[in-house]
Structures are given as C-alpha cells and as structure tokens.
Structure 1
C-alpha cells in the first residue's frame, strides 16, 4: 500500500553563513534581488512585544495598488515609462494568475517586462521569446522579455512598434495588476490618478501578532558559542521547525498510532514565550531591507535570546524568483528565504525554491 504513496516534490535550498559586518556580505543584495513578496514573518524568542523600531519599519512599508483589468500596452506608453519606470523602481505583478495554467506578467524594477504565456498566446502575439525551462518535450510555455528602459524602445523604432501592435491590436491582454512604486528621489507616486479610468484599489499591509507560550525550540548557537560542550541544531533542521511553528503544528508528538510525526530537532529547549509578528501584502525589497536593519539593532542591549528569525515568502505564481531567474509551479511553488540573526551579527541565510525554478544565487 505504501508503494502508492506519491514521492515528495524535489526542492532546492541554498544556504549561506556570514556576518553582517563583513565587507563582502551580500545580505542586502539577496533581499533586493527577490522582487515579489507577499509575507514577512518575524520570530523573536523570549519576547512578548516586538521592538518599537521594528514595528515602525513594518508599519512604514506604505500602500500598494490593485489595478483591475489593465491592458498591458498602457504600461508601455512613453508617458508611463518616463513617469514611473525611469524615475524610480516600479514593481508590477499580475494578480490571481497561475503560473502553471495561465498567462502571467511581471514588470521588474530594472525595467524589464516579462510575459510568461502559453503556446497559443505566444503564437498569436508573434513576439520573440524562449521556451520555458520547464516545458515538456514539446514546448507548452514561453517567456517573452521586453526591455522597456532601452533608449531604442520609443515610438517609431521597429521593436517598440512591433510590441505595441502585438499587445494593443493583435492580441490585447488585460490583467489585474498589483503595483508599487518606489522613488529614489522621494517623490510621491500617483498611480491612482494615472489609471483613473480603471478600477484602482489602495491597500495597506496587514499586520498580526501572535504570542507563543511554552514551545519546544531547537538550540541555535552562533559561531562564537560553538564548542565541544555546546551543540547546535543544523540550519536545515531549524528551517523545518520554523515551518511547523508558522503552521501551528505540535512539535512534541509521540510515535504512537500516527503514520508520521514531527518532533522538535535536538538539542532543544523550552521557550517561556516567543513573539510571532507577521506582515502580509505586496511587499517590496526596499522595505524588507529596512526591517532587516532594524532587527540587527535588536541585540544592542543584552537579551535573553541569542537569535531572531525573519522569513520572507515570495508569490508562488510569480514568473521569476531571484533576479530574472524563471520560477515555475510544479507541486509546491516554494519561493522563500529566511534569515537567522545572531547576537554577534552572524547570520544564516536560506533561499528555497521548488523543482521548477532556477537555483537561487
């Protein structure tokens, strides 16, 4: 009977250990390269209240927009490109589209429009693209990339005219889009006014707090505390445990009549309390880096805990994971990363994706 149990989906996890003060640390770059995020979860052991500076950074993430049934070609108009694409960092992602079944669109902050489309749409558009890395023997999906920041992508040029004709006349495509604009010059984005003829809804990230009591927790030690008499849980075991905590799974199971059980990794301890702080919405890397910087300051004063954790979940149906790396949904759609911050400014970083995704950097 067990022979019929389906195998678990393959996934990729890349781990990195470093120190925030190290001149070659890439923590900010890794965060910046993960463009589309829907949730940030912060876990602080032996804490009942999130530090005010962390709370302020989370509540300062700013509003984002949902523009309904917007034609793609509207984002290729010169006025839009000059106001938003070239004057800051614009994040756009199609909403409620499934990467394994639907056409999905992403506009990266570097000014690249990525269309992940099925075979029929690709042939109707007639634009140059590449087969998806995760197609079957016969390509069923294609990726089209348009460099809209290029100096030659202007009306009158062959490439511009071809793309606009394909998306405006030959195969008009409309989507609901999540949008957020970050200006390096401090200007206020006015996307609502620009798209006033469309239904444009404004949202704020949702914040929730959960206090956990008497939970089994693995022992984590930074490099300076490790030794013959000090053992620490591995980073991979910690990631599994963290998923159980987020899912509110009991980590103190006994192997009685259950087919499978999960227990807290060894060595372990019991936390009197821990604070789980979660922010959900359309969250861009600039805001996440601000939260990370504030968490680093948590250990400026002595604390009972030696570590804190921050987990960032990317959209399962985003066309990309890190940078321009293709992301595909096979069984799990994993697309996340996790920082464990230690009191001496050491950190562990895990970057995880599913089987149909390029390997994280």
Structure 2
C-alpha cells in the first residue's frame, strides 16, 4: 500500500541462524567464526543474550550458570572527547588496554560516541560533522530518502600514526578541542578486568568523574 522502500531499508533485516553447537567449547577460547558466536561478537555493546533451551539442558547447566557468571559492574564517567587522548588514559586504556565505552544520547538523533577495540566512532549531525574537518561517511538518518543529514567518523586510535605531533592525530585533537568540546556521560567497562569490569586506576583520573551503576 505504501512505498517506504529504499536502498538503505533493504539492509535492515532480522536474521535467524540455526546452528549446532560443538560437543566441547573451551570457555577461554570460544569459537569466533561460527554461529552463533560470530553473530554475538559482531555487536560490541550487547547487554543481554537470551538462550532458549530444552528443559533437561537448562536444568543441567542452571547451577553452573548461576555460580560461574559474575554480575557485571560498569562505571559511569563524565569526560570530553579530548580527555580520551590525554596521558595515562590514552596510553593505558586505549593504546594498550581493552575497554568498551558508549556515550549518552540516541543514535539517529544526537551526537553519539563509542569506543571498542581502540576504534572511536563518532555519529554526528551534518553541521557538526562539517565543522570538525574530519573524514567520514554519510549514514541513514530516517529522514528524507536522499538527504545526507548524519555522518559517521571512525578513528583507529591504535594505529602507529595516532600520536601527538603527527599531522592526522593533531587534526583529531583540534576537532575535539574546538568543535566537540562538551563533556558527556559514558558507560565504561574494562575487558581486561575479569572480575567485574572495574579498574582501580579510574578513580585517580583527574579528567573524569565516576559513579558506579
């Protein structure tokens, strides 16, 4: 009845995967390329995974799940983008560490930032994107079919060229100091801390304030 289809909407699909789990899975090195593990790993900020099991299988693993999976604890930190590139935080958490961070805001509406595997992603409105002077690509925003109103910038902060004094890095620093200057709330999780995802050093960072949530 209504013609809502365009090239972008054809990519928005719900995928269902049917797979048989291997007889043994090493919990320290689970598979990464076969389903359903590859599907889960492709989403860095998955909060919950639901599994539908036969009753006998559920009863067999219920106690093990309750005792072996700790309750994860995140931190809420208030930081500007420029603070990510400073001193100990940049060297210990981004260059050599392994953290997940996602900022406040709604994708498709607000300026939203994420950090995973050292890659900083900035989803920006058109006006802010053009002011930064950084390279990015247009993404679908839910508006008019051919309007380019939102853009995505991806910055691999672990590249050897991402150091103070390097031309490309200084462009990023300039954008964070002159355009994207506001301090925002982030959810922070340290993947290198096995127990609860918290890092003691986070308390001592002068550029960030922290609340446990």
TM-score relative to the length of structure 1: 0.47
Q: For 1:289-334, what per-residue CA distance to the aligned partner results, in whole angstroms no more than 9, with x for missing partners?
A: xxxxxxxxxxxxxxxxxxxxxxxxxxxxxxxxxxxxxxxxxxxxxx
Q: Structure 1 residues 98, 25: closer, same or farther in 2, change over 3 A? A: closer
Q: Structure 1 residues 39, 27: closer, same or farther in 2, change over 3 A? A: closer
The question of whether the paired residues in 2 share the 8 Å contact of 1:19 and 1:25 is answered with no
Q: Which has the higher strand share?
A: 1
Question: In structure 2, what is the equivalent of residue 319 of structure 1?
Answer: none
Question: In structure 2, what is the equivalent of residue 163 of structure 1?
Answer: 172
Question: In structure 2, what is the equivalent of residue 54 of structure 1?
Answer: 65
Q: For 1:93-123, what per-residue CA distance to the aligned partner results, in whole angstroms no more than 9, with x for missing partners?
A: 012x111211111111x21100000011112
Question: In structure 2, what is the equivalent of residue 202 of structure 1?
Answer: 212
2:108 to 86, 90, 100: 100
Q: For 1:33-54, what per-residue CA distance to the aligned partner results, in whole angstroms no more than 9, with x for missing partners?
A: 2111233445566589782211
Alpha-carbon distance, 1:79 to partner: 2.6
RMSD over aligned Cα atoms: 3.3
User: 5+ unaligned residues in a row in structure 1: which ranges?
Assistant: 204-361
Once the two structures are superposed, the pairs formed by residues 1-361 of structure 1 within 5 Å of their partners are 12-21=13-22, 25-41=34-50, 46=55, 51-58=62-69, 60-68=70-78, 70-95=79-104, 97-108=105-116, 110-134=117-141, 136-183=145-192, 189-190=199-200, 192-196=202-206, 198-203=208-213
Alpha-carbon distance, 1:30 to partner: 2.6
The question of whether the paired residues in 2 share the 8 Å contact of 1:87 and 1:183 is answered with no
Alpha-carbon distance, 1:73 to partner: 1.1
Question: How many Å separate the matches in 1 of 2:41 and 2:64?
Answer: 21
Q: Structure 1 residues 55, 43: closer, same or farther in 2, change over 3 A? A: farther
Figure out how many residues of one structure are paired with residues of the other and give that number. Answer: 195
Which protein, 1 or 2, shows the higher relative CO under an 8 Å CA cutoff with sep ≥ 6?
Answer: 1
Which of the pair has more CA radius of gyration?
1
Question: How many Å separate the matches in 2 of 1:16 and 1:105?
Answer: 30
Alpha-carbon distance, 1:169 to partner: 2.6
TM-score relative to the length of structure 2: 0.76
Alpha-carbon distance, 1:61 to partner: 4.2
Question: In structure 2, what is the equivalent of residue 274 of structure 1?
Answer: none
The question of whether the paired residues in 1 share the 8 Å contact of 2:106 and 2:112 is answered with yes
